[in-house]
Structure 1
Amino acid sequence: MLTPAVATQLQEAGWSVVLWRTPNLVIGVRPELPANCKILAPESLAESAIASTLTQVDALGGFLHLHPNDSKSPMLSLDSGANALVRHVFLLAKHLQHKLTVPTDSGRRHFVCVVRQDGQLGTTGTATGINAVAGGLSGLTKTLQIEWPSTFCRTVDFASELSAEEAAQRLAAELADPDGQTQEIGWSPQGRVAFLPEVSDTVHSSEADDFPEKPVWLVSGGARGVTAACVLELARRHPGTFLLAGRSPLEDEPDWADGITAEAGLRQAAMQALQAAGEKPTPVKVRQLVERIDANRAIRTTLQQLQDSGSIGVYASADATNADELRDAIAPHVQQHGAITGVVHGAGVLADKLIEKKTPEDFDAVVGTKAHGLQALLDAADPEQLSHLLLFSSAAGFYGNGGQSDYAIGNEILNGTALTFAQAHPNCRVVSYNWGPWEGGMVTPELKRMFEERGVEVIPAAEGARIFADFAMAEGRGHGPLLLIGNSLAVQYEPPPEVKWTRRTTRTLSLAQNPTLIDHTIGGHAVVPAVCALAWMAEAAEQLAPGYRFAACEDFQVLKGIVFDDTLADGYQLDLEEVERESGLHTVIEAKITSSGGKLPRPHYRTRVHLSKATPDSPVSHLKAEHRTPITDNPYQNGTLFHGPKFQGIQQIAELTEQHLLAQCRMPVWSDAECGQFQTRPFNPYTLDPAFQAMLVWARMIHNTGSLPLKLARMEHFRTIPFDTPCTLDLRVQSHSSTALVADLDLVLNDGQIAARMLGAEVTLSENLNTLFLKSAA
């Protein structure tokens, strides 16, 4: 079991371990613990029991929650089995706030949740063992990291295939990880993963062939507001039947409100109506009357607009979190219009406040509306007949958001459900829309200005509705079920200029996690490409300075390449130190990668990374389009280049002289698994690698000598070159000798824009490399 293994690991690291033992009603099996573990046992899961039990603890260095592997609990029930622990941990966080945020001189404090699902954050192709409610814990830790910036907060997902001892060792490494920007990590036999957003191409409304001819939609929260705007756009494009479920009763409008549209006039009329009924017109009663009028008018307007679009709109007054009540309310309409083919879950409530101010009722209302509401919708329909499941999640779940810990949990539960439902029902189009704030609705003009000052993107209502319908109706399944619209809602912390960013991280490299590097073999051993090392340092620099983006690097040096042979180190240390910053504009981070190899660290790579808040414009190349006779020899087959199929990005050498080389490039497609530990962030290193390859071609053709990258005076990055994208490589020789070549290079896209520019790139020439390259080519 995991608990004893983690307790032992912590004790061996010098920690004093206190076990928080939850009541038997949640977990029946009690593990044997190592000696010297103090036990705290609240009488129940009630908040009062938590508060009284915590009085027995003085100072705390951290809190670890080890969530049971309980895939048998009802999918979205918040109070069954181990699922009840999510609410319990939420309340524990509330009462631990002071203990885990008080300043300390002994190192940072921790709040870490551990779940045992698939080790890949619920993204694998099987839903077995995945518990969406447990996945909601990541919303809590991401929000706490924002509310508690000095505390290390993270959720770690360990695959069930990992032994308890393996998981405990990796957890100890996570606790020591200096990266405070990543709050969600997965560990499986395939390695370590994190969720990062990927920019998606715009989806146009090319309707899928399998879209139902006469769809019947069951919608929560769709009678008014943002969800209504989205439903109306869907109805405009493809009419159908829309069963709108909501708590508000649909009533006839009272005579006293007839014809009054102004807010002030409604309040005045409501006061007079209360007085006429013999009641005291208190502000609360007046507001409630006006809200009922506004709600009923919005519902009727939506129903009329649905009818105008050629659709059928029906409103069912029911508690959308109660499956029985919802099923009874829609039963006659299902009988009349047909079985439900699509579900839209747009209901949501807010109770914004910091975690220490939250109440159990807040959790039940906010998280329950998301989780129990979705369960009720799925219970009221037949999941096997659904063509669409469309969920309104939030960027507050994906990123976390201060004051919205419960809302983040609820939306992460939706995201987890989207992943598992899509895996279990491959013929159903599942989209979980992680919305940023919408213009209008709850975003007042004042709040919009605040968002703009914080750099938060506000979604225009018409644009949001278009995105919703585009991704609901688009042909194909080209993207995963999680769609992120907008950026983080959090204020990005930036220390004053006199306080410099620094960080040290350690990475273990293995060929098993980077299998495609077999195609980058020299002398029988795989070698880390220089551009991958550069991307490693650039990505780490971006994580160090949130809000800044990679713009350029200077003085990149290959001091000793990393080879997968007996010289491979147990771990490689990346040190980052900020050396210059102009707040809000740019910063410069010095980066170096070393390993232990004796009395002194062994240096491998170093550079200075330039980060900027602004996105630079791409310069335009002055290359003229003209016909050139290509050089026909294949550099990958004649010993000029050692690169295997996955790295063979040069398709044609169009020109080669002593001063110039032109090449047409197109790098084959790589999957995320093939990229391994060197992903395509913040630029694609694999589509830049042909630049160094071209220098090797030039050296071989002019000097008949093999060569390897050595230095790069400066690289400027303007646009990422995707895989399978044609570009022209323009190499201009600056100097050369029998031992070195220095050149400037541009990688130019077909539209003439320069994607990346390398200045002062240098390779070292050696005849000793000729034999090694020939062996690799063979």
Structure 2
Amino acid sequence: MAAECYRGHRSAFLAGDTELARALATRLAADGWTVHHGELPPELDLAIWFADETGGVEAALREALLLAGRVQDRLRAAASVGRAAFLTVTRLDGQLGLAGTADIDRAVLGGLPGLVKTLALEAPEVFCRAVDLEPALDDARGAELLLAELSDVDGKHQQIGHRVDGTRCTIALRDTPDPALPGILGVPEPGPDDLLLVTGGARGITAACAVGLARRYRCGLVLLGRTQPADEPSWAEGVATEQLRAAAATWLRAKGEKPVPRQVAAMERELVGAREIRETLRAITEAGGRAEYVTVDITDPEATKVALRPYRDRVTGLVHGAGLLADGLITAKQAADVDRVLAVKIAGLRNVRTVVPAEQLRHVLLFSSVAGLFGNVGQSDYAMANEALNRVACSLRARRPATRITAVNWGAWAGGMVTPELARMFAERGVPLLEVPEGVRYFVEQFAAERGADTVCMVGPSTPLSGPPPAEMRLSTASLASDPVIAQHAIGGAPVLPLTAAIGLALSAVRGFTAGRVTDVAVRKGLVFDGSHPAELRIAVTPGETGQLVDIRDDRDRPRYTMTVAGPGDQPLPALAVPSGESTPAQCYQDGTLFHGPAFRGIREVHDDGARLLLGCRLPAGEFAGGACQVPGYDPVLADVLLQAVLVWARQQKQVAVLPVAVAEIDLRTPLPADEPFLVEVCGDDDASGRLVCTVTAYGPDGRALCRFRGVEAVAVPGLAEKFQATQPVPGGKNGDG
């Protein structure tokens, strides 16, 4: 997407006094932007936060969040007439702080993507992106890269890194540790001689994990918390927890005092906290471990130093489980609340880590959260804090390669900070909860020797805590209309958006899609670039009973394409008996059966099998529409080969020229191979209404199914055969050229 995606009179606000900010301001001004510093203008199309390379890191996170709150309404207003964008810019390592080369304290700035991803959920109209540039990139090149990100057509990636060697990076989940991240194998497990500090470890989820750790490894534990476990008063002895509030009120009345609800609740809270601490200590002892409890506010560096002095020389490990929530939308966030949330996670870790000599630590496990990985509505500060821990883990590991250092991004637990009300909300959204016994088992396993390579990992369902936004994603059609590959998908001289490209747009709009199914695909009115095409497409995603409903409309609200993006299929696709007979070169691009230009010509040969149509295919990968229609594992040009096979089948079976108008189900299992051979099979489906319906399946050379288009419906259009026939082959071109 080019600069046309922004409105004509463009206004930018740049926050941060850096040379890079000044270089970008110069480039923006040269491109016709009005650039502001200090005072926010009444109208705004772009806001960029540049992380100061010398200032305090927690303050930088807070100020970035507060800026996002101040500019959000202005950006949302601008988004109604064009693109509006919010960017954060850091200079960590060009890999968003995950390479581990950033200074440990500066790595905290890697928490900014947590803000960006949350803003994208709370203000889905706004183009949101966190960009990290390798420090070795000069400012002129950095400004050039930022301009490119501002006009990127692909809005699905919210975290981008640029390295000095030209590599552009983003972040994705994978099943095994990324070898590019710092990590080692074979870290010894903790044992009876180890002593681990556990922040937030005397109550709740972290306490359950501490008990599991003691049961498995018999290690010593020092639990740190803010609650002072006072002795139980006589009036509370033997009173069940659920009756404490009533007992407290009775005791106050007996003293002649009026029970004030707030006072009674505080008394109950103090007693329950003390009981939970004593119960945790008892459970650890019964499990075979040793435990002490220390009252300390870890956000206070001096108090932390004093409290840990007796244990300093014996500590060999740290579990940082402390956390705090102060939920609220970005526009309502107050500086004090943000500071409290960041302090527990970030300053708390720093203060504890500063006390213990680094060379003593053999085990460091940090509690992070999927709230940071995906962002979460109402938890922008918490998301930043957890993303910061992920980056700190990488920087620590790079400096202490013999130490087990892992940031575990937990899904939502059934318990802990998840109240019954939150649990019901998660159930309504389809967010699974991690049961406590299962989570404790995963926690304990993280200390096993074979998990030593895990530096940043996720445990639990890979489901964002916030549902996908029901807002629209807008896409200018200018970049599509001028795309040279789409120009090779022309009927009667007019380029036509391939149906597989429309499917790719839908997949791009569904947050976090990696593999699965697309059902109920329907072409309402195809997109023909003949000069009368709409200037903009609007892609709306809403939750449905079976998946995410995607409705693609034009700027006059006319439906163009609809479909549902669903989860993976639960049944294996049948394999293919690989043909052993002879094949003949395909002539479908030369004889008028197909209209496609060289970039689409993937059908190479026809296998002689009378019972079915079986095609040998191969097509090189290529750039298509700036990546707007692509997601990992799905290439719309390669996928188009399957729909081309439908046209070949219709010509052979019915002697008609057709176009696909609907697909009952697309099952995407394994990416189609670029520039490698694969097979495509077309089988007719019985249809009593006389419609042309078939199923198309792609297979690897070994017969393993890669993907299937089931229930493809095609229609014959008067005059279509003549338009196909009129398509002239490129002189000297062959199948697959281009």
Residue 503 (str. 1) matches residue 453 (str. 2) = no
User: For each residue in 1:229-268, what CA deviation from the matched residue of structure 2 results, as whole angstroms up to 9, or x when unmatched?
Assistant: 222223322221111111112222221110011423x112
- Residue in structure 2 matching 1:683, options 609, 615, 633: 633
Specify the code of the residue in structure 2 equivalent to 1:375: R
Residue identity over aligned pairs, in percent, reads 33
Distance 1:580 1:252, change over 3 A: closer
1:496-645 paired onto structure 2 within 5 Å: 502-504=474-476, 538-546=503-511, 550-551=517-518, 585=546, 587=549, 611-615=563-567, 617=569
Corresponding residue number in structure 1 for 2:310: 332
Distance 1:383 1:775, change over 3 A: same
Question: Whole-Å Cα distance in 2 between the matches of residues 460 and 550 of structure 1?
Answer: 28
User: For each residue in 1:585-631, what CA deviation from the matched residue of structure 2 results, as whole angstroms up to 9, or x when unmatched?
Assistant: 56567799xxxxxxxxxxxxxxx987424336355566699xx9989
Residue 122 (str. 1) matches residue 108 (str. 2) = no
- Residue in structure 2 matching 1:190, options 166, 187, 205: 166
1:142-181 paired onto structure 2 within 5 Å: 142-177=117-152, 179-181=154-156
Tell me how large the CA RMSD over aligned residues is.
5.5
Specify the code of the residue in structure 2 equivalent to 1:452: A
- Residue in structure 2 matching 1:490, options 466, 478, 481: 466
**SS of the residue 2:391 aligns to:** helix
- Report the TM-score, using the length of structure 1 for normalisation: 0.66
Distance 1:220 1:12, change over 3 A: same
Distance 1:153 1:279, change over 3 A: farther
Question: Whole-Å Cα distance in 1 between the matches of residues 32 and 610 of structure 2?
Answer: 63
Question: Whole-Å Cα distance in 1 between the matches of residues 89 and 144 of structure 2?
Answer: 13
Question: Whole-Å Cα distance in 2 between the matches of residues 394 and 505 of structure 1?
Answer: 38
Corresponding residue number in structure 1 for 2:368: 393
Question: Whole-Å Cα distance in 1 between the matches of residues 286 and 362 of structure 2?
Answer: 25
Question: Whole-Å Cα distance in 2 between the matches of residues 745 and 105 of structure 1?
Answer: 41
Question: Whole-Å Cα distance in 1 between the matches of residues 229 and 236 of structure 2?
Answer: 15
Corresponding residue number in structure 2 for 1:67: 51
Instruction: Indicate conservation of the 8 Å contact 2:125/2:473, yes or no.
Output: no
> Cα distance, 1:301 vs. partner?
1.0
Specify the code of the residue in structure 2 equivalent to 1:212: E
**SS of the residue 1:156 aligns to:** strand
Corresponding residue number in structure 2 for 1:16: 34
Corresponding residue number in structure 1 for 2:227: 248
Question: Whole-Å Cα distance in 2 between the matches of residues 195 and 464 of structure 1?
Answer: 24
Q: What residue ranges of structure 2 are gaps of 5+ in the alignment? A: 1-18, 178-183, 481-497, 524-534, 555-559, 586-606, 646-657, 685-693, 715-723
Distance 1:125 1:113, change over 3 A: closer
User: For each residue in 1:549-595, what CA deviation from the matched residue of structure 2 results, as whole angstroms up to 9, or x when unmatched?
Assistant: 6526799xxxxxxxxxxxxxxxxxx9866699996556567799xxx
Instruction: Indicate conservation of the 8 Å contact 2:45/2:84, yes or no.
Output: yes
> Cα distance, 1:311 vs. partner?
0.9
Instruction: Indicate conservation of the 8 Å contact 1:345/1:391, yes or no.
Output: yes
Question: Whole-Å Cα distance in 1 between the matches of residues 287 and 322 of structure 2?
Answer: 23
Corresponding residue number in structure 1 for 2:189: 212
Corresponding residue number in structure 2 for 1:447: 422
- Report the TM-score, using the length of structure 2 for normalisation: 0.69
- Residue in structure 1 matching 2:249, options 268, 271, 281: 271
Distance 1:711 1:124, change over 3 A: farther
Corresponding residue number in structure 1 for 2:342: 367
User: For each residue in 1:109-163, what CA deviation from the matched residue of structure 2 results, as whole angstroms up to 9, or x when unmatched?
Assistant: 4332211222221233634698222222222222233333343333221222333
1:129-140 paired onto structure 2 within 5 Å: 131-140=106-115
Corresponding residue number in structure 2 for 1:292: 270
Distance 1:94 1:614, change over 3 A: closer
Instruction: Indicate conservation of the 8 Å contact 1:123/1:419, yes or no.
Output: yes
Instruction: Indicate conservation of the 8 Å contact 2:509/2:539, yes or no.
Output: no
Specify the code of the residue in structure 1 equivalent to 2:32: G
1:683-702 paired onto structure 2 within 5 Å: 683=633
Instruction: Indicate conservation of the 8 Å contact 2:153/2:627, yes or no.
Output: no
> Cα distance, 1:432 vs. partner?
1.9
Higher normalized contact order (CA 8 Å, seq sep 6+, divided by chain length) = 2
Instruction: Indicate conservation of the 8 Å contact 1:502/1:544, yes or no.
Output: no
Question: Whole-Å Cα distance in 2 between the matches of residues 458 and 19 of structure 1?
Answer: 45
Question: Whole-Å Cα distance in 2 between the matches of residues 588 and 84 of structure 1?
Answer: 40
Specify the code of the residue in structure 1 equivalent to 2:21: T
Corresponding residue number in structure 2 for 1:26: none
> Cα distance, 1:369 vs. partner?
0.5
Instruction: Indicate conservation of the 8 Å contact 1:127/1:423, yes or no.
Output: no
Residue 720 (str. 1) matches residue 669 (str. 2) = yes
Specify the code of the residue in structure 2 equivalent to 1:448: A
Distance 1:345 1:581, change over 3 A: closer
User: For each residue in 1:345-379, what CA deviation from the matched residue of structure 2 results, as whole angstroms up to 9, or x when unmatched?
Assistant: 11111111223433222122111001011112212
Corresponding residue number in structure 2 for 1:307: 285
Distance 1:485 1:431, change over 3 A: farther
Distance 1:303 1:162, change over 3 A: same
Question: Whole-Å Cα distance in 2 between the matches of residues 63 and 579 of structure 1?
Answer: 25
Distance 1:327 1:589, change over 3 A: same
Question: Whole-Å Cα distance in 1 between the matches of residues 457 and 501 of structure 2?
Answer: 26
Corresponding residue number in structure 2 for 1:383: 358
Question: Whole-Å Cα distance in 1 between the matches of residues 453 and 635 of structure 2?
Answer: 23
Specify the code of the residue in structure 2 equivalent to 1:245: L
Q: What residue ranges of structure 1 are gaps of 5+ in the alignment? A: 21-39, 41-53, 71-79, 202-206, 509-532, 556-573, 593-607, 636-654, 671-675, 696-709, 735-742
Specify the code of the residue in structure 2 equivalent to 1:11: A
Question: Whole-Å Cα distance in 2 between the matches of residues 679 and 267 of structure 1?
Answer: 59
User: For each residue in 1:260-308, what CA deviation from the matched residue of structure 2 results, as whole angstroms up to 9, or x when unmatched?
Assistant: 11423x1122234445667553222221211111111111111111111
Instruction: Indicate conservation of the 8 Å contact 2:508/2:631, yes or no.
Output: no
Distance 1:679 1:502, change over 3 A: closer
Specify the code of the residue in structure 1 equivalent to 2:296: A
Distance 1:352 1:622, change over 3 A: closer
**SS of the residue 1:292 aligns to:** helix
Question: Whole-Å Cα distance in 1 between the matches of residues 428 and 703 of structure 2?
Answer: 34
Question: Whole-Å Cα distance in 2 between the matches of residues 272 and 631 of structure 1?
Answer: 91
Question: Whole-Å Cα distance in 2 between the matches of residues 69 and 733 of structure 1?
Answer: 61
Instruction: Indicate conservation of the 8 Å contact 1:351/1:362, yes or no.
Output: yes
> Cα distance, 1:450 vs. partner?
1.7
Question: Whole-Å Cα distance in 2 between the matches of residues 402 and 318 of structure 1?
Answer: 31
Distance 1:775 1:438, change over 3 A: closer
